[in-house]
Amino acid sequence: MDTKIVCPTPEQAEWANCELGVIIHMDLQTFQPFDFREELGKTPSPQVFNPSSLDTDQWLEAAVSMGAKYAVLVAKHCSGFSLFPSAAHDFTVASSPWKNGKGDVVADFITSCKKYGVKPGLYYSACCNAHFQIDGTAKGKMSQAEYNKIVITQLTELWTRYGDLFEIWFDGGVLSVEKGGADIVSLLHKLQPTANVFQGPTGTRSLLRWVGNEDGNAPYDCFSTVDMGEGTFDGASGTPLEGGDPYGSIWNPAESDMPNRYAHLAYQGGWFWREGEDDTVIPAEKLMEKYYYSVGRNTNLLLGMVIDNRGMFPEKDAAVFREFGEMIKERFSSPIAETSGETNIITLDVNADVTDIVISEDIRFGERITDYKLEKCIGGVWSELASGRCIGHKRIHRIDKTHIDSLRLSVNEYKAVPKICKFAAYCGKN
């Protein structure tokens, strides 16, 4: 029986097609480590920020080698230090010795994104600013109204100077107007109406949600629609929406983020470079596992990039990115067999060894499938391989290498006739 189908905006559909992105961290703590919550109001001086060889081209080249289609630069993290000059205050690169105070990391990043064909995004922590003693709300150094003016000034700068942004990232969401926060929704609609907004405020056109962890792990069933009713996650309070709701009223897909290094210190989280921690680089084999747990479960994977005190993505990390990118290509660049169809039962003739099965709905028409079964035929005998509730943009089922004659996808429950744009078998290295 047909029912109401919620569909993505064109920007959200484009975002899902990207599948892989990076989030790039460099801040004062790259040069002088500190815990912003434990040292609220005691941040290092901008004078410590002085990378000798900052090269945003090198960052983006490494991102592309991994397969990233978009990149998010942390323009202002929780320290409050801004990687761009600002009229709001002088706690920025303009007060650092780097390029004699004339540099703009954000501008360099945007230029490199254009050069390498990567869609640009910017992270701005609106609810945390250690320099001004902001942690959720103002903690004494200034009033909330004064801080709101800083937020609006800086977001206006970021959203007008550097062109259209593919993704805007609010870490921990934003403080709502009702709770005393700045009116960010109106500014978004005016300056960046087509941006996808991670943990954006209610009323944002193209929302993205947190998957609920920083380990690159999506739930086994992870729908893109959610119910934004009582008790749901608005980015600033409540709990993550985790697996979503197949009958939710809002398209708000999950993004699975993770650092590219393991954390030695809890507060550092593996997101920032620290001297002597090259042994914490997460190996390509582990990243491949996370690819299955994120992209293979209907979310995008947003992988961290630590930038060192030279202003470079370290050589060891870059080598792992290249290896990870090659692994993805080796597994998924050439399907053994592939088909598509607008139906609830679809069969694929294979007659080959198989390690991976990829199923995709055409999400431009919404996520229609709510229960399915995947079967294999060997020697005329059919048996179940896997089952689930959500397919969405992409569901990958990985199996031990097996010679399979045919595969069959049976959709048992659906909101409208399924639109399967891809049902494919692959054979990669196990």
Residue-wise pLDDT for 378-393, tens only, equals 999 999 999 999 999 9
In this structure, the number of other CB atoms found within 10 A of the CB of residue 180 comes to: 14
- Do residues 414 and 369 touch, judged by C-beta distance below 8 A? yes
Q: Note the pLDDT tens digit of each residue in 57-89.
A: 999 999 999 999 999 999 999 999 999 999 999
* Bridge pairing between strands 207-210 and 196-198: parallel
Give SS3 for 408: strand
- Do residues 196 and 11 touch, judged by C-beta distance below 8 A? yes
pLDDT score of 39 more than 80: no
- List phi, psi (to 5°) of 204: -70, 140
Q: Nearest 10 degrees: CA dihedral of 264, 78, 165, 120?
A: -30
What's the one-letter identity of residue 138?
A
pLDDT score of 145 more than 60: yes
Counting residues of the chain whose pLDDT is more than 90, the rounded percentage is 85
Comparison of pLDDT for 203 and 321, the residue scoring more? 321
For the segment 163-180, the average pLDDT, to the nearest whole number, is 93
For the segment 45-50, the average pLDDT, to the nearest whole number, is 97
Confidence bin at 235 (pLDDT 50/70/90): very low
Identify which of 357, 346, 355, 326 has the alpha carbon closest to the alpha carbon of residue 425.
357
What's the one-letter identity of residue 32?
Q
**Can you give the pLDDT at residue 234?**
47
Handedness of CA 293, 270, 71, 175 (dihedral sign): positive
Identify which of 69, 64, 328, 57 has the alpha carbon closest to the alpha carbon of residue 196.
69
For the segment 176-194, the average pLDDT, to the nearest whole number, is 94
**Can you give the pLDDT at residue 237?**
43
**Can you give the pLDDT at residue 227?**
84
Give SS3 for 304: strand
**pTM of the entire predicted model:** 0.96
Residue 261 is given by DSSP the state B
For the segment 203-212, the average pLDDT, to the nearest whole number, is 92
**Can you give the pLDDT at residue 229?**
59
**Can you give the pLDDT at residue 172?**
84
Q: What is each CA distance from 148 to 134, 188, 384, in whole angstroms?
A: 11, 15, 56
Q: Nearest 10 degrees: CA dihedral of 332, 334, 340, 344?
A: -50
* Burial category of 117 from C-beta neighbours within 10 Å (exposed 0-12, middle 13-18, buried 19 and up): exposed
- Domains of the chain, CATH where assigned: 10-332 (3.20.20.80), 337-426 (2.60.120.260)
Give SS3 for 355: strand
**Can you give the pLDDT at residue 126?**
94
Q: Note the pLDDT tens digit of each residue in 261-274.
A: 998 665 567 999 99
For the chain, what is the mean pLDDT? 93
How far apart CA 74 and CA 25 sit, in angstroms, is: 6
Confidence bin at 4 (pLDDT 50/70/90): confident
- Do residues 260 and 307 touch, judged by C-beta distance below 8 A? no
**Can you give the pLDDT at residue 267?**
54
